[in-house]
Amino acid sequence: MGEKIINLDQIDSVDLFGLNEEKLKILRKAFPKLKIVLRGDKLIIVGKDEEIEDFEKKIDRIFEHYGNYNKITKDNIEDIIADNTDSLDLEVEGDDSSHVLVHGRSGMLIKARTPNQKKMVDSFKKNDMIFAIGPAGTGKTYTAVAIAVRALKNKEVKRIILARPAVEAGENLGFLPGDLKDKLDPYLQPLYDALRDMIPAQKLESFIEDGTIEIAPLAFMRGRTLDNAFAILDEAQNATENQLKMFLTRMGKSAKFIITGDITQIDLPFNQKSGLVASIDILKDIEGINFIFLDDRDIIRHPLVNRIIDAYKDWGKKE
């Protein structure tokens, strides 16, 4: 008799095995000679060594499927037990997997949804650095984060670095409560929101704790070299020319960079120039860098957002 303990600390066991362990019951039925116990974040298997070895092969395949698609059904588990992988492959093909960037939370399909978002994805296959510039709601940040998460899952990079300038848009940072992290987190919240859509909560927490994913203000990038990393600078219109130059020159070996921003919403003081605006002319002819310009047609928020943007444009022309 032997015993095997499988650690589930980076997996939501309820999400994986279902309420009342309904999916785990399928495994117990398939391996009646084993004692299979779920205790907290540990899966304990007791039985003959050869039976445990067979179980491990199946559970590894289940973990792989769950890791790829962030969901697993009873039918998926039954197919894995029966070695019926053809049906699993057919299911993925039916999801139009060629356009899927990431299988997000609960299996949500995250893909480029507009022509210019698709340009971002296609451009990144040919360039190590891209700029995605466009108005609010065009999915610049979300698509960039999805590309980065896909690269991490595919082991193309070892870590993700997400940065934003901590520029006050009419608010006073000094009067926000809490320590430095508490003051800065509101500026970084959109990045957390995108990641939560794409990575299970426990796995995301683990990635942040061990530094696989780092979310930080732009100023924290100074003096660093980002090797084997996927770095995203969001809201780059609020970086000065010197700040943007500093960030771009952090690029180390095997690194990928995406810079996103909206040049119509610059919150810098009037005496400071936006580095993003200047970069369009400075870097436009450099091989390996590509600029993608998103527009109103890429807005995928509520239909009112398009109307609001158009109204402000008309008002601005009158002013």
Our count of domains for the chain comes to 2
Shared domain check, 263 and 297: yes
Q: How far is CA 291 from CA 121, 215, 259, in A?
A: 12, 24, 9
Shared domain check, 185 and 311: yes
CA angle 220, 225, 228 (to 5 degrees): 115
pLDDT higher than 70, residue 198: yes
Q: How far is CA 222 from CA 215, 219, 247, 274, 285, in A?
A: 14, 6, 7, 18, 26
Shared domain check, 143 and 84: no
**Per-residue DSSP letter, 267:** -
Question: Whole-prediction pTM value?
Answer: 0.69
Q: Give the domain extent around 18.
A: 2-94
Q: How far apart are CA 45 and CA 122, in angstroms?
A: 45
Strand ranges of the sheet holding 42-47, from the earlier edge strand across to the other edge: 2-7, 42-47, 35-39
Q: How confident is the model at residue 170 (pLDDT cuts 50, 70, 90)?
A: very low
Lowest-confidence pick of 50-59, 127-136, 255-264, 294-303 = 294-303
Say what percent of the chain tops pLDDT 70: 86
Q: How far apart are CA 144 and CA 194, in angstroms?
A: 10
pLDDT at 94: 42
Shared domain check, 104 and 89: no
Q: How confident is the model at residue 106 (pLDDT cuts 50, 70, 90)?
A: low
Last residue of a domain, one of 94, 112, 132: 94
Q: How confident is the model at residue 90 (pLDDT cuts 50, 70, 90)?
A: very low
Shared domain check, 198 and 80: no
Shared domain check, 104 and 208: yes
Last residue of a domain, one of 94, 127, 151: 94
